[in-house]
Amino acid sequence: MNGTHAVRLRSAALSAAAAAVILLAFSGCGSPSSPASPGQEAKYYDVLGVTATRGFALDMDVAGDTLYVAENYSGVGAYDIADYDEITFKRRVATDSRAELVDAVLELNALFVHITDKTQIYFLDSLTLGPGSQIGSGGVSAILTEVTRDSVQSQNWINDPQPTVEADVIRTLLVDGSSTDGLQVATVYLDSSNVIPGEKRYLFEHVFQTVLNNPTVPETGIASIEGTDVVAVGLLDYGVGIANVSPETAVDGEWLSDVDTPGEASAIVYGDGYLFVADGVAGMTVIDVSDRFAPEVVASWKIEGVDHVVNVALSQHRLAVVDQFDGVYFLDVSDPEDPEYKGAYEVREPTDAVFVENNILLVTSRLEGITALRLVF
């Protein structure tokens, strides 16, 4: 099925002068040692509000004015974020087991939810499970989706096969760190044929499984470089790999290049030719990928206490770095090769960060639910 569709190396060690500047900023910016509380203004951000969730908030995604949160054994919670000062609970959907990841696709009314052993597809508006909507396996650690056009055929018929038509589809990449599944690529579409009255379902065609399923290389994160055709994949101790998984490639896709990082590469975001990598004990690493075949590590950022970086979020020049235990750190990456530390916000066991507008950041954590911040730099 062929479709078309409308990231200079500097030492991570700080000089004495740079360290002094960072410590000065750290002492007055809502750092983990002096956090700002809701309503209290900090130098580089304002806390708009904190909302409790029904269970551990593990992952989130935004569609319109609704925030969808994977809440562990409490399923998926939907929250109204029309007013960031007062995020309110709307409804909840129970899942078969612990909800770990969510990905919302507003254009095709789809909500991907990864639970313990599979990824299921729900109707976004009703939060009901679509018939036969199940892909992937148990090792999925990240989901990347893109709406594109493709040739599809309705399977919703009784006697006569339906014609092949051009339709909007969801190209879906599932990053699976298990030894056999690697990076799974599927095309998902909404089958809305009325041949069987009243029945709609999400169907998928498994396109291919890439060469990233090497049992010694666990895949953990993914970022779009060119849609869902060229992607960056976090490979923990093996750094970051760049892969071409476009429909035009061979059945297994192809590696373009790879580059090692100082730590354990997991979550990744892409912006203007650079990758910003959550690099575990090494903090945050920046990779220049202007040449897809020769990526280069150009910066590494870390300060004392930052040693469990698990997520990153980017909006224009603002980068949020999520440390699994120590809070969320804010960097100005106007010059990606020289990130400038601005401050930090303490939140217990943060899991994810998402920019919903240019300077509004939502943060989820296992113990404190949803925090809304306005960044002011």
* pLDDT greater at residue 14 or residue 116: 116
Q: Does 41 or 109 have the greater pLDDT score? A: 109
**Minimal CA–CA distance to 267: which of 315, 209, 224, 211?**
224
In our burial notation (b when 16+ CB lie closer than 10 A, e otherwise), range 320-352 reads bbbbbebbbbbbbbeebeebbbbbbbbbebbbb
pLDDT at 131 over 60: yes
pLDDT over 90 at 246, yes or no: no
Average pLDDT score over residue span 79-104: 96
Interval 125-129 mean pLDDT: 89
d(CA 237, CA 239): 6
- Does the pLDDT value for residue 111 go beyond 70? yes
Backbone phi, then psi, for 243, in 5-degree steps? -130, 145
Answer whether residue 23 shows pLDDT above 80: no
Where are any strands of DSSP class E within 215-293?
Answer: 221-226, 230-234, 240-244, 254-259, 268-271, 274-278, 284-288
- For the residues 260-264, what does the mean pLDDT come to? 97
**pLDDT for the residue numbered 105:** 96
The reported pLDDT for the residue numbered 8 is 27
Question: Among 17-21, 136-140, 163-167, where is mean pLDDT lowest?
Answer: 17-21
Q: Give the best-scoring range by mean pLDDT among 130-134, 214-218, 332-336, 354-358.
A: 332-336
According to the model, what pLDDT value does residue 255 have?
Answer: 84
Question: Cβ(111)–Cβ(76) under 8 Å?
Answer: yes
What band does 26 get if pLDDT is binned at 50, 70 and 90?
A: very low
Comparing 152-156, 160-164, 211-215, 331-335, the range with the smallest average pLDDT is 211-215
Q: Is 286 helix (H, G, I), strand (E, B) or coil?
A: strand
Greater pLDDT, 220 or 225: 225
What is the pLDDT of the chain when averaged over all its residues? 83
pLDDT at 170 over 70: yes
pLDDT at 205 over 60: no
Residue 307 has pLDDT above 80, yes or no: yes
Give the integer Cα–Cα distance in Å for 110 and 265.
29
Higher pLDDT among residues 34 and 153, named by residue: 153
* 136 pLDDT above the threshold of 50: yes
3-class DSSP state of 319: strand
CATH 2.130.10.10 fits 3-21+66-339, yes or no: yes
* Residue 22: per-residue pLDDT: 34
pLDDT higher than 70, residue 38: no
The confidence band for 138, taking pLDDT boundaries of 50, 70 and 90, is confident
Distance CA 146, CA 84 (A): 27
The answer to whether residue 161 scores a pLDDT higher than 70 is yes
- State the Cα torsion 7-11-17-23 to the nearest 10°: 60
Q: What average pLDDT does this structure show over 27-56?
A: 67
List all residues 6 or more positions away from 305 whose beta carbon is below 8 Å from its beta carbon.
32, 323, 326
How sure is the predictor about 50, in pLDDT bands with cuts at 50, 70 and 90?
Answer: very high
Would you place residue 155 in the very low, low, confident or very high pLDDT band (cuts 50, 70, 90)?
A: confident
Residue 151, both tokens? 């040739």
Domain residue spans in the chain?
A: 3-21+66-339
Q: Which position has the higher pLDDT, 193 or 343?
A: 343
The confidence score (pLDDT) of residue 160 equals 75
Mean pLDDT of 7-20: 32
